[in-house]
Structure formats: structure tokens, C-alpha cells
Amino acid sequence: MQGGGENATTTDERHSSRVTFEVNGSSREVTLDNRTTLLDALREHLDLTGAKKGCDHGQCGSCTVLLDGRRVKSCLVFAVTLEGRSVVSVEGLAGPDELSPLQAAFIAHDAFQCGYCTPGQLCSARGMLDEVARGWPSAVTDDLSAPAELTDAEIRERMAGNLCRCAAYPHIVAAVRETAAAS
């Protein structure tokens, strides 16, 4: 396994920084090239390859993780900006050898095929359900003053930032709907 320190020594010292942030509940201290994105920090330095790189440009959602509980595209976040922050990736959605209800629902509904978009879908759905719980409206919410209601149209709209070329969309919506209804 390649460690952050090993890779960082090969880059110019002036262009790297030591940063400490929490990943899936444990504190990680790494020295990273200042250009390293959170996505590459996870994948190349912390051996957390769950978050996927589909575009590296914030256009596909495969790299979605939770940053301080909010969903972000980790390919658009520089890791050196994360001092003291908390990241949850797909590996941290449930305890070891456990599945979160959302993960179990994804399996039950066959909400994926190749699985490459799946970690991003899961993190995005997790963050999205919290947004709904907080009452945040979306572009298809009719009544902005009423509590947000999670209709299928709302799920589709709120999950629109996560592309799935296998097109598991109807099953993703079903899995999210079921999870939301059960919680």
C-alpha cells in the first residue's frame, strides 16, 4: 500500500502541506501535494478507493462523499483545505461488516449494475435525505414554505447530479424511496 508520506516526498516540499482531517471516524494526518484533490487523497493516499473518478470535473457525481455531513464532489475539493474537517466516504456509511439501510436497499432493488457510480449515488442519497429532513426545497418543490415531501419527482431531481450510464435510475429511486419511508 502506498502511503501519503512516500508519495509526497517526491513532490516539491514547497508545494506540499501537512493536513489533518477525519475520515470515516478516524483522524488522518497526511502530507499532500497542494494540488491533490480530496478524491485523489482518498484513492491514492488513504487506500479508500470506494469514491470513484468518472470525470474529475464535477460533472458525474461518482466521487460524491460527505464533508461535515454535506454531499460534495470530492474531485472539486482540494485536500489541503480540509484541516479539522470530517469526511465520510462510502466505506464509512456503515460499521465494519454492516450495511446501512440504504446500502441494503440498493442491493435489494438492484439499484446498480457495473457499480461504478454506486458509491457516489449512496453518499449523495445519504446527504440528500438529510437535506430533505432539514426542509431544503429543490427545483421541483412547489410549496417552498411547507416541509419538503419526498415524492418520486423530488428524488429524481435531487439525485440528478449522479449519472449512471447503466441507467439503474428507476431502481435507485425505489431504493431511496424505501429507505426514506422506513426512517
Partner 1 sequence: MSTGAVGRAYPRLEGREKVTGTARYAVEYPVDGITYGWAVPSAVVRGRITRVDTTQALASPGVLAVVHHGNAPRLAPGPEPELWLLQEPAVHYRGQYVAVVVATSLEAAREGARLVRIDYDAGPHSTVLTDDHPGLYQPDHVNPSYPTDTAEGDFDAGYAAAPVRVDVTYRTPAYHNNPMEPHATTAQWRDGRLLVHDSNQGATSVRATLAELFEVPPESVRVVAQHVGGGFGSKGYAKAAVVLTALAARHVDRPVKLALTRQQIFGPIGYRTPTIQRVRLAADADGRLTAICHDAISQTSTIREFAEQTAVYTRSMYAAPHRRTTHRLVRLDVPTPFWMRAPGECPGAYALESAMDELALAVGIDPVELRIRNDTEVDPDQGRPFTSRNLVACLREGAQRFGWTDRDPTPRARRDGRWLIGTGMAGSSYPARARPSSARATARPDGSFLVQINATDIGTGARTAIWQVAADALGVPPERVEIHIGDTALPTAPLAGGSMGTASWSWAVIRAAQTLREKLQDLPGGVPADDVSADADTTDEVGGQPTLPRYAYGAQFAEVRVDADTGEVRLNRMLGVFAAGRVVNPTTARSQLIGGMTMGLSMALHEEGLLDERYGDWVNHDLATYHITGCADVESVEAYWLDEHDDELNPAGVKGIGEIGIVGAAAAIANAVHHATGVRVRDLPIRLDKLVGTSSLA
Stretch that binds partner 1, among 8-16, 66-74, 129-137, 143-151 (CB under 8 A): 8-16
Among 17, 30, 31, 119, contact with partner 1 (rule: CB under 8 A):
119
Please, what is the minimum distance in Å from the beta carbon of residue 173 to partner 1? 7
Please report which helix (H) or strand (E) contains residue 23, including its range: strand 16-23
* Minimum gap (Å) between residue 58 Cβ and ligand FES: 5
Q: What's the order of all strands across the beta sheet hosting 26-33?
A: 26-33, 16-23, 86-88, 64-67, 70-73
Residue 30 C-alpha cell reads as 497526511
Whole-number Å distance between alpha carbons of 52 and 90: 10
Site string for ligand FES, 88-117 (x = CB under 6 A): ------------------------xxxxxx
Tell whether residue 180 is a contact of partner 1 (CB under 8 A). Answer: no
Angle between helices 169-182 and 118-133 (to 10 degrees): 40
Q: Residue 56 interacts with ligand FES (CB under 6 A)?
A: yes
